[in-house]
Amino acid sequence: MRFIKINFPADQSEAVIDIVKAAEPIDWSMDNGYGRYEKAIEIVIEKGHGQPLLDAMQSLFSDSDNWRVVVMPIEATLPRKDMAQNTAETNKDEKTTNTTTLREELYQKVSGDSRLNWDFIILTILSSIVAAIGLNEDSVAIVIAAMVIAPLLGPILAFAIATALGDLSLMKQATKTAVTGLAIGFLFALGLTTFMPVNIDSLELVSRTIIGPEIIALALASGAAAALSLSTGISSALVGVMVAVALLPPSVASALFLGAGEPDKAAGAALLLALNVVCAVLSAQLVFVFKGVRPRTWLSQQKASRAVKINAALWAILLMALAALSVKLSIWA
């Protein structure tokens, strides 16, 4: 459930009440607003009914600046709803929308996580150093520790959502953050090779130069799980580790091999990284589309739909090209 508060001009009261009633909330009440807003309405609503209500409010107030919507999650509410009624409404919710997380919540989350700031940079540096040590020491535990702190989930999901919404600005921001993060991690791992001898026989290191069907399946599953966790409101902490599995180790491995004077193996690890990025973005994008993440207006939906189809086709072609290249380079297992 969610608590939604809307402040708006008093002359729009009837229209607002009609929209609220159409959304079939659990409860709602109206009172006088404050500041530059003349009225306020508070709504308690089930997940699945919130998106149509917010879309209707945005359409109603599209020509006005004198309004504000605040959405907050509800941990608990009394009195409790009847279980049978709750089940019936949950089933109805599933027909209403494919996602339990509001579009605005998704956007707020991914846009914040995809920002290139000092926290992102420092976490990327630390995770790449830890990953380099783990790969070099052939330690699975240390590699996992590096993936726990790697902040690579944000830009991947932001790019996928930006594609689904047709948001070019967010797409550029996510691309910039992801590329910068991977570049910083690569350079710091490469710098470690100047004073740390590289153990090129490490199984953890060598395994990042081999590509196979299971590797592609892992990357596809990582991207899909990340998108599903975000769109359904499930915690994405463990999913972030899955995405880091696909992105961080091959990037660091490529740097270590390059620093050790093994350009062929470095190229193999870089190819694995590229393949994993393509798989993760492609599967995440398709999941968001399946879950009904789309722009509010019809015109924007048409533009976003074309963007999704074009992007999906390009990513699929790129996936096949990279797989074919790995076979040609004899690194396909």
Give the pLDDT score at 83. 46
Average pLDDT over residues 101-109: 77
Q: Which amino acid is at 124?
A: T
**Other CB atoms within 10 Å distance of the CB of residue 88:** 11
H-type alpha helices, 114-236:
118-136, 140-149, 153-165, 168-192, 203-206, 213-232
Give the pLDDT score at 106. 79
Domains of the chain listed by start with CATH number: 2-96 (3.30.70.120), 103-328 (no CATH)
Q: Which amino acid is at 207?
A: S
Give the pLDDT score at 60. 87
**Other CB atoms within 10 Å distance of the CB of residue 9:** 16
In angstroms, rounded to a whole number, what is the distance separating the alpha carbons of residues 264 and 224?
Answer: 31
Tens digits of residue pLDDT in 44-101: 988 767 888 888 888 888 888 888 888 887 877 777 765 445 544 545 544 444 555 6
Q: What's the start-to-end Cα distance of the chain, in Å?
A: 48
200: burial class by Cβ within 10 Å (0-12, 13-18, 19+)?
Answer: middle
Q: Is the pLDDT of residue 113 over 50?
A: yes
Question: Do 281 and 315 meet the contact criterion of CB atoms below 8 Å apart?
Answer: yes
Q: Both tokens of residue 7? A: 């402040």
Question: Do 332 and 216 meet the contact criterion of CB atoms below 8 Å apart?
Answer: no
Tens digits of residue pLDDT in 12-43: 888 989 988 888 888 888 887 665 567 889 99
| The overall pTM is greater than 0.85 | no
Tens digits of residue pLDDT in 140-168: 888 888 888 888 888 888 888 888 887 88
In angstroms, rounded to a whole number, what is the distance separating the alpha carbons of residues 170 and 107?
Answer: 9
**Other CB atoms within 10 Å distance of the CB of residue 161:** 27
Q: Which residue has the higher pLDDT, 129 or 91?
A: 129
Give the pLDDT score at 177. 93
Question: Residue 6 belongs to what H/E stretch?
Answer: strand 2-8
Provide φ and ψ at 31, rounded to 5°. -150, 180
Q: Cα–Cα distances in Å, from 234 out to 89, 99, 140, 230, 231?
A: 20, 11, 27, 6, 8
Average pLDDT of the chain is 82
H-type alpha helices, the chain:
13-22, 50-60, 83-96, 103-113, 118-136, 140-149, 153-165, 168-192, 203-206, 213-232, 237-259, 263-290, 298-328
Contacts of 15 (CB under 8 A, 6+ apart): 60
Give the pLDDT score at 130. 92
